[in-house]
Amino acid sequence: MPLVTTKEMFKKAYDGGYAIGAFNVNNMEIIQGITQAAADLRAPLILQVSAGARKYASHVYLMKLVEAAVEDTGLPICLHLDHGDSFEICKSCIDGGFTSVMMDGSKFSFEENIRITSEVVKYAHDRGVVVEGELGRLAGVEDDVNVSAEDSSYTRPEEVQEFVERTGVDSLAIAIGTSHGAYKFKPGTKPQLQFQILEEVGKRLPGFPIVLHGASSVPQEFVKAINSNGGALEDAIGVPEDMLRQAASMAVCKINIDSDLRLAMTAAVREHLANHPGDFDPRQFLKPGRESIKAMVAHKINNVLGCAGQA
């Protein structure tokens, strides 16, 4: 089976009240851990690549690794550009075989976001590729972007219909209080998401797939495992899983997870090296890293996404 777009996946997910996991990848062990978990559970899958990941591993390596995963598992897999910030990077990924791109124009004005996103949609649709747009701005840190809490903003439901109609996007990322990275909510405060925004967006765009970024839960056992084996993470707090489940049962069809994979892999690698200080063959510590990614993804599929058996 070749790489697929999200068209069918999202239609089924919307109707079925579940979501598809979009996991960030940048090396072979991460791709194998994710795809082995999804294959065991027959879960449809989105593998996504950020600009930073593409710079790190290079387009062709990631492309070939993902093609290998498709061949190995027979799963419907979509290969997606995460947070494309220009027409050029979206074009390059479309030309290079990705089946989905995100044009993240959330840092631009509403009109400029529409202009640039429409340009990407035209190019993508002519080539059978789907496009995710974004309205509203998440706080948090990614490779090249650092959005402070003051510069972040919730999505304005009154803008979504016009944005979707004028751009022709296939899905829309919205900001309801999640953020990128491992430090999402202040220690001691109660995590809260603006579900009324999601509900309002859902009413204005019936049947239309919504995307939730910044959706790692930051399981405390991994933070502890990292810190008790030489790490130095501060109090990291993520999005409670029951809130993600609720979002998945509403209009959210795609849930983005990166930080939890990083925590899972790093915790396993640190634990292994702490217990086996004489090891220096990368396979010895990357293998538990890969297993830990696999267990994390299986947990997400079963407890957060609800997409097991839907491939």
Binding site for ligand 13P (CB under 6 A): 24, 82-83, 180-181, 213-216, 256-260
Report, in Å, the least distance between residue 282 CB and ligand G3H: 21
**Least CB distance to Zn ion at residue 80 (A):** 11
What is the phi/psi pair of residue 259, to 5°?
Answer: -55, -40
CA 14 – CA 18 distance, rounded (Å) = 7
- Kindly state the smallest distance separating residue 306's Cβ from ligand G3H, in Å: 22
Provide the residue type at 129 as one letter.
V
State the DSSP string of 89-135.
HHHHHHHTT-SEEEE--TTS-HHHHHHHHHHHHHHHHTTT-EEEEEE
Instruction: Give me the least distance between CB of 166 and ligand G3H, in Å please.
Output: 25
Contact between 213 and Zn ion per CB under 5 A: yes
Decide whether 147 or 197 has the Cβ nearer to ligand 13P: 147
Going from the C-alpha of 301 to that of each of 1, 2, 88, 153, the distances in angstroms are 22, 22, 33, 29
Helix (H) or strand (E) holding 291: helix 282-300
Binding residues for ligand G3H, total number by CB under 6 A = 10
Stretch that binds Zn ion, among 30-38, 116-124, 182-190, 249-257 (CB under 5 A): 249-257
Residue 215 interacts with, from Zn ion, ligand G3H, ligand 13P, none (CB under 5-8 Å by kind) = ligand 13P
| Helices first, then strands: H and E counts in the chain | 12, 11
Catalytic residue among 15, 40, 72, 82: 82
Other beta carbons within 10 angstroms of residue 195's beta carbon come to: 14
φ, ψ for residue 250, nearest 5 deg: -95, -135
Instruction: Check if 82 is active-site.
Output: yes
| Per CB under 6 A, 143 contacts ligand G3H | yes
- 95 alpha-carbon distance from chain centroid: 22
**Among 85, 132, 142, 291, contact with ligand G3H (rule: CB under 6 A):** 142
Q: Which is nearer to Zn ion, 41 or 253 (CB)?
A: 253
239-278 binders of ligand G3H (CB under 6 A): 258
Q: Enumerate the active-site residues.
A: 82
